[in-house]
């Protein structure tokens, strides 16, 4: 069972979210009762009903919600991206909206660096949220160095209304000690962010810092995900939405360029007989493991059944518990064969069939 719905962070929008959720659960119930007894359907949906009554959960939602349930599992994920309402009971989870969220085409991270502290953010075109740093990544210079600090006789002053933006200053030898401590701090932060955040996510990392701190951090950084262009500002001195807007200004050109490149790559492959836009041909190729890369329309579903042996597809109604979105089923199989799936906004799709597949051979 898979359930998706748009949600809201704040009042009054979030007051309607649990009501909409319960209505979607009713649709799941109708679908399940076509195949299961009322008692079995009630047992499967019990975790969904419990979530619908969890007031704490509904007060902490983001822009979207994805909920997955089965006989032996139940998981709910709050997403930074709105998703369309969608429910389905099928023989596998519906994961296309999650693939779109997890792919790195328009997601990014921002590392805010000041003299005394660091903060990490993650966002998209529409939203930017602060991310809790891994426990072994220090948040402040004192946390990183503790008693090992060499700059023991320096002053400090706070800039801006935000937390953590502290500038250390001194003269002569003390000033040199400050510089040494900041370099050590930045090295520790760079190593931790690279290992615990950049490498697991694969997201581009923007640096938000004043110029003197930007130069120092770039001079010691070994993070291959750090993009060349920075945001010349401390995140503590601007509103979150302004930081998001400035970050997207940096990310947007690369995002558009990547989508154009993917579309061009498909057109070239199709012209050489190494790709297809036809659903039936793509299904056969996916089933045999021939698809290296597939672009999928984010805004379309094609209800049907996929024969996992032959690749034959048959269209059917989505409210049947044995039916899922064929685009979703094909995406799962491409990923399981170590291929790449990119969920693309409808306006940027190079085909009108819902997919564009590129063959390995």
Supply the pLDDT for residue 258. Answer: 87
CA atoms within 13 A on the CB side of 25: 22
% of residues, the chain, pLDDT over 70: 89
Question: At a CB cut-off of 8 Å and minimum separation 6, what does 321 contact?
Answer: 31, 32, 34, 35, 89, 90
pLDDT digit string, tens, across residues 169-207? 445 445 555 678 899 999 999 999 999 999 998 899 999
Domain edges within the chain: 2-89, 108-254, 273-359
Architecture of domain 273-359: 2-Layer Sandwich (3.30)
What is the structure's pLDDT at 341? 92
- Second CATH level (architecture) for the domain 108-254: 2-Layer Sandwich (3.30)
Per-residue pLDDT, 162 = 45
Give the Cα separation of 140 and 146 in Å (integer).
10
CA-to-CA distance for 359 and 190, rounded, in angstroms?
Answer: 38
- Is residue 196 within 8 Å of residue 134, measured between CB atoms? yes
pLDDT value of position 220: 94
pLDDT tens by residue, 23-58: 999 999 999 998 899 999 999 999 999 999 999 999
Q: What is the pLDDT of residue 148?
A: 67
| 361 residues of the chain, pLDDT tens digit each | 999 999 998 888 889 999 999 999 999 999 999 889 999 999 999 999 999 999 999 998 988 999 999 998 999 999 888 888 999 998 888 888 887 766 656 789 999 998 789 999 999 888 899 999 999 999 999 999 886 666 544 444 444 444 444 444 445 445 555 678 899 999 999 999 999 999 998 899 999 999 989 999 999 999 999 999 999 998 888 888 899 999 999 999 988 898 899 999 999 999 999 999 999 999 999 999 999 999 999 889 899 989 989 999 998 877 776 677 899 899 989 998 999 999 888 999 999 999 999 999 9
Residue 67 Cα distances to 2, 19, 77, 217, 223, angstroms: 6, 15, 6, 40, 34
Helix/strand/coil for 338 = coil
The 10 Å Cβ neighbour count of residue 328 is 26
Can you name the residues that pair with 231 across neighbouring β-strands?
A: 208
Q: What per-residue confidence (pLDDT) applies to 163? A: 45
CA atoms within 13 A on the CB side of 153: 4
Radius of gyration of the chain (CA): 24
Beta strands in 2-159 (DSSP E): 2-6, 64-70, 73-79, 86-88, 108-113, 118-123, 128-131, 155-158
The terminus-to-terminus CA distance of the chain in angstroms comes to 35
Which strand (E) or helix (H) includes residue 329? helix 326-336
Burial class from Cβ neighbours inside 10 Å (0-12, 13-18, 19+) for residue 207 reads buried
């Amino acid at each position: 069972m898979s359930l998706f719905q748009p949600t809201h962070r704040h009042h009054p929008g979030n007051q309607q979210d649990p009501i909409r959720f319960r209505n979607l659960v009713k649709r799941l119930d109708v679908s399940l009762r076509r195949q299961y007894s009322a008692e079995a359907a009630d047992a499967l949906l019990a975790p969904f009903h419990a979530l619908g009554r969890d007031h704490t959960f509904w007060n902490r939602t983001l822009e979207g919600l994805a909920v997955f349930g089965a006989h032996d599992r139940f998981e709910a994920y709050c997403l930074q991206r709105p998703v369309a309402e969608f429910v389905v009971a099928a023989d596998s989870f519906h994961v296309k909206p999650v693939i779109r969220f997890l792919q790195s085409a328009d997601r990014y991270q921002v590392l805010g660096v000041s003299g005394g502290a660091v903060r990490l953010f993650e966002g998209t075109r529409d939203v930017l949220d602060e991310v809790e740093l891994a426990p072994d990544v220090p948040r402040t210079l004192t946390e990183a160095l503790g008693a090992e600090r060499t700059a023991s006789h320096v002053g400090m002053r706070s800039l801006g209304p935000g937390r953590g933006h502290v500038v250390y200053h001194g003269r002569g030898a003390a000033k040199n000690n400050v510089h040494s401590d900041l370099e050590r701090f930045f090295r520790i932060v760079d190593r931790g962010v690279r290992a615990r955040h950049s490498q697991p996510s694969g997201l581009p990392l923007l640096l938000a810092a004043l110029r003197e701190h930007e130069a120092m951090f770039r001079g010691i950084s070994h993070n291959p995900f750090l993009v060349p262009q920075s945001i010349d500002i401390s995140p503590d001195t601007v509103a979150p939405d302004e930081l998001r807007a400035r970050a997207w200004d940096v990310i947007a050109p690369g995002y558009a360029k990547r989508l154009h490149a993917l579309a061009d790559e498909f057109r070239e492959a199709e012209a050489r007989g190494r790709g297809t836009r036809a659903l039936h041909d793509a299904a056969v190729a996916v089933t045999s493991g021939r698809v290296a890369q597939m672009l999928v329309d984010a805004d379309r579903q094609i209800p049907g059944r996929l024969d996992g042996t032959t690749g034959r597809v048959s269209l059917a109604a989505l409210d049947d518990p044995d039916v899922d979105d064929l685009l979703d089923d094909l995406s799962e199989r491409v990923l399981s064969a170590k291929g790449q799936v990119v969920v693309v906004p409808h306006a940027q799709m190079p085909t009108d069939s819902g997919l564009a597949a590129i063959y390995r051979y």
